[in-house]
Each structure stands twice: as structure tokens, then as C-alpha cells.
């Protein structure tokens, strides 16, 4: 167990940050899944910028790696073009 107040505060901050990051990562993963399941091209084109922004935000805040975000965006764009 931590003995210093600063260490206890750090533990509290990490827990709060972990919950925040998990929420946004899960929300983004769900958005990616719905975009992949979409078979209507018009709907997919409308949804893509929102998902792209979510991925960029996660990469910017280091929740996911920037290359992972780029790979996901590329695959989603490829999926949309194949519709």
C-alpha cells in the first residue's frame, strides 16, 4: 500500500483516467463495428467522418497508437469504397 499522499493521489488519478480511456475506447470500437456492418454506402459515408474523428482523438491522447488509428481508418475507407 502507498504511504505518501502524492502516491495515493496518483492511484486515484490513474483509476479515473483508466475509466475515462476505457469508455472512449469502447465507444469508438462500437462505432467501428457499426460502420463495418453497414451495407448502405450513403449511410457509411455519413458515419465515416465521425468515426475518423473518434480514432484521431484516441490516437492524439495516446489511448491507442497512431499507427493503429491510421490502419483502422484505411481499412474503413477501403470497406466504404467496396460498397
Domain total of the chain:
1
Domain assignment present for residue 2? The answer is: no
Domain assignment present for residue 15? The answer is: no
C-alpha distances in Å from residue 65, one per residue of 42, 47, 73: 29, 22, 13
Task: Please write the tens of the pLDDT for every residue from 12-63.
Answer: 999 999 999 999 999 999 999 999 999 999 999 999 999 999 999 999 999 9
Secondary structure E strands in 3-79: none
pLDDT for 1 beyond 90: no
Can you give the residue range of the structural domain that contains 35? 28-83
pTM: 0.86
Amino acid at each position: 500500500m502507498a504511504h505518501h499522499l502524492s502516491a495515493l493521489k496518483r492511484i486515484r488519478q490513474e483509476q479515473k483516467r483508466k475509466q475515462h480511456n476505457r469508455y472512449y475506447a469502447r465507444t469508438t470500437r462500437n462505432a467501428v463495428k457499426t460502420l463495418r456492418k453497414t451495407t448502405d454506402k450513403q449511410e457509411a459515408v455519413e458515419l465515416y467522418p465521425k468515426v475518423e474523428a473518434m480514432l484521431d482523438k484516441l490516437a492524439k491522447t495516446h489511448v491507442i497508437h497512431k499507427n493503429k488509428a491510421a490502419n483502422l481508418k484505411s481499412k474503413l475507407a477501403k470497406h466504404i469504397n467496396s460498397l
